[in-house]
């Protein structure tokens, strides 16, 4: 029904628009002068220089580095051709690292969106202390990731961790759990922290989405006798989709690039057992026996391509659904 409305409005608009707009444009042109391409240049200089310096130059440098052979000191010895890429693809731990990355990104983003939906719903309600709660939710986001991660190593530690002390005292577990050292607990613990720090932003994006849903639609559904769950599924969720799209794409990139959390929470574990592709890339350059800036840069290029492809596939899927559902 909405589609039809949109279509008819769209069809009606074109003939009307030129008539309505042209006089206004003409008037403005006289008031403020005609903006030519050339006089726009001074205004564009700053952003262009910024983009060139912050995006283009580092990208070129990264690709150059990935094609170079470096000494452990950082001295460039010469060109390496594609050797760094070959070394990466032949690396014993690459499969494990990519698997960790997949688990990390998918689970953290999925759980974040799920809990974010609940939290946003909660925040949208009127109740006493709502402002306090909204502030409280922002804090984990405002805190530096390294500090948050350090705090969690203190909470989750085997010997001194508060969580273990609490669980043992309450007799929920008999023995403390090595959350950050036991191989089957490390990833779940990191995911917990990952969700914790991604929630605030997600909840706020979804809250904004919720607030944008016209109340009369929900009211109308309620008058028609729809149950709250039905209203949520058939009105709220579909209308939240743009907000969810934004939240999930930004989270995909944010979680994928989450270096400080994994690096800090995983710092006691030797090897690459719990690394994602971002910390793997860093360790290749500075912490592992490879000590190779070139290999690290190659992994950096692969990382960029990986996240680009993932986001593009994701957007494709979303759009495809929209088309099929309409």
Partner 1 sequence: MNRRTQAFAVGITGLALTLSACGGGTGGSSESDGGGKVDSIKLVAAEYSDKTQGFWDAFAKTYQEKTGIKLDVQVVSWDDIDQQSSTMIQNGNPPDILNLNAYASYAQDDLLYSADDVLSPEVKSDLLPNFVTSGTYEGKLYGMPDLSSARALFYNKDLFKDAGIKAAPTTWDEFAADAKKIADLGDGVAGYAEPMGPEEAQAEFSIWMFNNGGNWKTDGKWSINSAANVETLSFLKKLADDGVTQNNPGKTNRTDGAFADFAAGKAGMVVGFSPLAGTLDESKKVDYGVAPMPTNNGDEPKSYGVTDYLMAFKKDGNADAIKAFYDLYYQPDQVNTFIKDEGFLPVTQSGVEKFSSDEKLKVYLDTLTGVQLTPTDDPKWDTVKLAVQQKIGAAVGKDGDPQAVLDDLQKQAESGN
Q: Which of 62, 63, 69, 76 binds partner 1 (CB under 8 A)?
A: 76
Considering the rule CB under 8 A, would residue 162 count as an interface residue with partner 1? no
Q: Which residues contact 313 (CB under 8 A, 6 or more apart)?
A: none
* Closer CB to partner 1, 158 or 232, in the complex: 158
The CA distance from 203 to 193, in Å, is 16
Q: Which residues contact 291 (CB under 8 A, 6 or more apart)?
A: 72, 284, 285
Q: By CB under 8 A, what part of segment 14-73 binds partner 1?
A: 36, 38-39, 41-42, 45, 49, 53, 65, 70-73
* Closer CB to partner 1, 71 or 211, in the complex: 71
Considering the rule CB under 8 A, would residue 78 count as an interface residue with partner 1? no
What SS3 state is found at 84?
Answer: helix
Q: By CB under 8 A, what part of segment 178-197 binds partner 1?
A: 178, 180-182
Q: Which of 130, 160, 230, 233 binds partner 1 (CB under 8 A)?
A: 160
Min dist CB 269 to partner 1, Å, is: 5
* Closer CB to partner 1, 157 or 251, in the complex: 157
Residues in the chain, total:
326
Considering the rule CB under 8 A, would residue 117 count as an interface residue with partner 1? no
DSSP 251-311: HHHHHHT-HHHHHHHTTTS-TTTT--HHHHHHHHHHTSTT--HHHHHHHHHHHHHHHHHHH
Torsion of CA 136, 137, 139, 145, to 10 degrees: 150
**Closest alpha carbon to 108 in 196, 206, 195:** 195
CA 132, 133, 139 angle in degrees (round to 5)? 95
Q: Which of 6, 219, 267, 322 binds partner 1 (CB under 8 A)?
A: 267
Q: By CB under 8 A, what part of segment 297-326 binds partner 1?
A: none
Q: Which of 122, 226, 269, 318 binds partner 1 (CB under 8 A)?
A: 269
Q: Which residues bind partner 1 (CB under 8 A)?
A: 36, 38-39, 41-42, 45, 49, 53, 65, 70-76, 153, 158-160, 176, 178, 180-182, 267-271, 285-291, 293
């Amino acid at each position: 029904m909405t589609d039809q409305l949109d279509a008819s409005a769209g069809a009606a608009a074109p003939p009307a628009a030129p008539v309505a707009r042209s006089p206004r444009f003409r008037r403005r042109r006289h008031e403020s002068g005609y903006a030519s391409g050339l006089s726009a240049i001074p205004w564009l200089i700053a952003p262009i220089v910024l983009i060139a310096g912050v995006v283009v130059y580092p990208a070129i440098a990264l690709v150059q580095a990935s094609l170079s052979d470096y000494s452990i000191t950082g001295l460039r010895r010469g060109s390496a051709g594609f050797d760094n890429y070959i070394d990466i693809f032949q690396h014993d731990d690459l499969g494990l690292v990519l698997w960790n990355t997949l688990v990390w990104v998918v689970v953290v983003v999925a759980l974040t969106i799920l809990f974010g939906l609940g939290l946003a719903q909660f925040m949208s309600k009127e109740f006493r202390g709502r402002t306090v709660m909204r502030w409280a939710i922002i804090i984990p986001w405002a805190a530096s990731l390294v500090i948050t991660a350090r705090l969690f190593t203190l909470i989750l530690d085997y010997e001194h961790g508060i969580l273990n002390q609490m669980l043992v005292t309450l007799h929920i577990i008999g023995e403390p759990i090595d959350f950050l050292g036991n191989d089957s607990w490390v990833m779940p613990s990191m995911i917990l922290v990952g969700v914790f720090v991604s929630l605030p932003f997600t909840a706020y994006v979804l809250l904004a989405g919720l607030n944008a849903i016209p109340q009369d639609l929900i009211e109308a559904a309620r008058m028609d006798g729809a149950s709250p769950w039905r209203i949520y599924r058939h009105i709220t969720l579909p209308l939240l989709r743009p907000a969810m799209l934004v939240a999930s794409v930004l989270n995909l990139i944010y979680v994928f690039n989450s270096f400080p959390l994994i690096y800090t929470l995983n710092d006691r574990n030797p090897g690459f057992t719990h690394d994602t592709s971002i910390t793997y890339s860093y360790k290749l350059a500075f912490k592992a026996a490879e000590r190779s800036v070139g290999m690290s840069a190659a992994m950096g290029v692969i990382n960029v391509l990986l996240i680009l492809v993932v986001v593009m596939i994701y957007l494709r899927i979303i759009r495809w659904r929209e088309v099929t559902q309409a």
